[in-house]
């Protein structure tokens, strides 16, 4: 088995065993990587590389948008949908204008979104450890992960349950 095959098998296993929250993080990682690839392609005048990165990033942004669940939390979904639509449009504009700086802004926003999501997962994992000690019933959330219902009604918005 070659290194590429091993890497593909590792990624396949990672995706198949990931929770919905972890899958969203993997999608953000991919969008960030492909947006950076597009930016580097434009800077080096390698337009095939730029196009491939842009195409992959657009596909991931579309997947992130389609994975939202407005039936659970419309306001959150509207905000995330607006962000992903803005990123998609900015990506298309930067590519049509062959503007690496426009792509830099997309990369920066994706990096911020990825970091925010990563920090939220850490915080929620800590909260879930505490909630597991008390016991709670998970309920679906707008982002495809489960929230644990507040036990005493004191937690606004509930907790996110990462068990997938």
pLDDT in tens, 52-89: 999 999 999 999 999 999 999 999 999 999 999 999 99
143 is a domain residue: no
Q: Are 112 and 105 in contact (CB under 8 A)?
A: no
How high is the pLDDT of residue 150? Answer: 38
Check residues 3 and 110 and name the one with the higher pLDDT: 110
CA distance linking residue 5 with residue 154, whole number of Å: 49
* Average pLDDT value over all residues in the chain: 82
pLDDT tens digits for range 122-142: 998 888 777 666 555 554 555
Per-residue pLDDT, averaged over 117-124, amounts to: 90
Q: Is residue 162 part of a domain?
A: no
On whether residue 18 sits in a domain, the answer given is yes
Instruction: Evaluate whether residue 94 is within a structural domain.
Output: yes
Question: Is residue 129 a part of any domain in this protein?
Answer: no
Q: Span 111-129, mean pLDDT?
A: 90
For residue 153, tell me if it sits in a domain. Answer: no
pLDDT of residue 106: 98
Is 159 a domain residue?
no
Summarize pLDDT for 11-48 with one digit per residue, the tens: 667 667 768 888 999 999 999 999 999 999 999 999 99
Contacts made by residues 70-78, CB under 8 angstroms, sequence distance 24+: 70/142, 72/140, 72/141, 72/142, 73/141, 73/142, 74/142, 76/142, 76/143, 77/142
Tokens linked to 101? 């700086």
Query: What is the count of structural domains for the chain?
Result: 1
- Structural domain including 64 reads 3-121
In a domain, 131, yes or no: no
The CATH number assigned to the domain holding 14 equals: 1.20.120.340
């Amino acid at each position: 088995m070659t290194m590429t095959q091993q890497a593909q098998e590792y990624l396949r296993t990672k995706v198949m065993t990931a929770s919905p929250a972890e899958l969203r993080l993997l999608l953000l990682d991919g969008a960030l990587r492909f947006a950076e690839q597009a930016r580097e392609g434009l800077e080096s005048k390698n337009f095939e590389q730029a196009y491939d990165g842009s195409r992959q990033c657009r596909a991931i942004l579309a997947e992130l948008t389609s994975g939202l669940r407005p039936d659970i939390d419309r306001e959150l979904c509207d905000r995330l949908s607006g962000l992903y639509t803005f990123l998609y449009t900015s990506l298309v504009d930067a590519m049509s204008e062959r503007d690496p700086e426009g792509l830099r802004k997309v990369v920066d926003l994706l990096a911020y979104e990825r970091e925010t999501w990563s920090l939220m997962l850490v915080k929620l994992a800590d909260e879930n450890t505490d909630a597991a000690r008390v016991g709670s019933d998970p309920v679906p959330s707008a982002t495809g992960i489960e929230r644990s219902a507040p036990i005493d009604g004191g937690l606004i918005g509930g907790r996110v349950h990462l068990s997938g």
